[in-house]
Chains A and B, each alone.
Chain A
Amino acid sequence: DGGITQSPKYLFRKEGQNVTLSCEQNLNHDAMYWYRQDPGQGLRLIYYSQIVNDFQKGDIAEGYSVSREKKESFPLTVTSAQKNPTAFYLCASSHRTGAYGYTFGSGTRLTVV
């Protein structure tokens, strides 16, 4: 079955540590996206990519980095420069025009310990 897989489901980060969240899709979607959701808040766009080897900053890119070396994969690194990384991170994919909407992964909950 086609879908989008995020891992891990839960992640704990120590102060000053970089961590990488995985996102893989087998839907043959060109576009992939990373959103952050804080408790009781909406979705805020971190980074997105419309095509392999190209990506754009969203509204809250500072302290995050991404790569898009393969169509199927769009990993997100939360760097030590992100001072408040505790949140629910959602990866999504879609056709480049947004037709049919996003398909979301199940999310990764990141906590700073």
Chain B
Amino acid sequence: QKEVEQNSGPLSVPEGAIASLNCTYSDRGSQSFFWYRQYSGKSPELIMSIYSNGDKEDGRFTAQLNKASQYVSLLIRDSQPSDSATYLCAVWDNYGQNFVFGPGTRLSVLP
């Protein structure tokens, strides 16, 4: 059973701070990693994807991947109250041909 783990939180950060969300995965052969944001009562929306070791930046978001450590993270710079949501880490399972999701980390950005 492939697993994806995240700290459930809640993670609370003040407005304007950097929020750091972490994810570890069990399948060493995984190649594709995605971050989704889910507001309460809504469906997940795609934020970022990352496939190669290192950093990938998109606006205030930076995804970081370290395949040797089986670790992927999402940094949110200049956090805003509108960033308050649950963030889901998803890892593509090549064998099962579907994404395996972590339980999500609930982020609260305090004004």
Interface residues of A (CB under 8 A from B): 31, 33, 35, 41-43, 45, 48, 50, 58, 90, 96-107
Contacts and interface: CB of A to CB of B under 8 A. Distances in A.
Chief secondary structure at chain B's binding surface = strand
Contacts of A58: 98
Interface in B13-66: 32, 34, 36, 42-46, 49
A54 to B, nearest CB: 11
A41 B42 CA distance: 14
21 contacts: A31-B98, A41-B103, A42-B101, A42-B102, A42-B104, A43-B101, A45-B98, A48-B98, A50-B97, A58-B98, A90-B44, A96-B97, A97-B92, A97-B97, A98-B97, A98-B99, A101-B34, A101-B90, A104-B44, A105-B43, A107-B43
Contacts of B90: 101-102
B32 A104 contact: no
Given A42-B88, A98-B32, A104 B99 contact: no
Contact of B49 (A43, A48, A101): A101
B101 A100 contact: no
Contacts, number: 50
Q: How large is the interface on B (under 10, 10 to 19, 20 to 34, 35 or more residues)?
A: 10 to 19
Chief secondary structure at chain A's binding surface = loop
B26 to A, nearest CB: 15
A35 B53 CA distance: 29
A33 to B, nearest CB: 6
Residue among A45, A90, A96, A101 with most chain B CB within 10 A: A101
A48 to B, nearest CB: 5
A11 B60 CA distance: 38
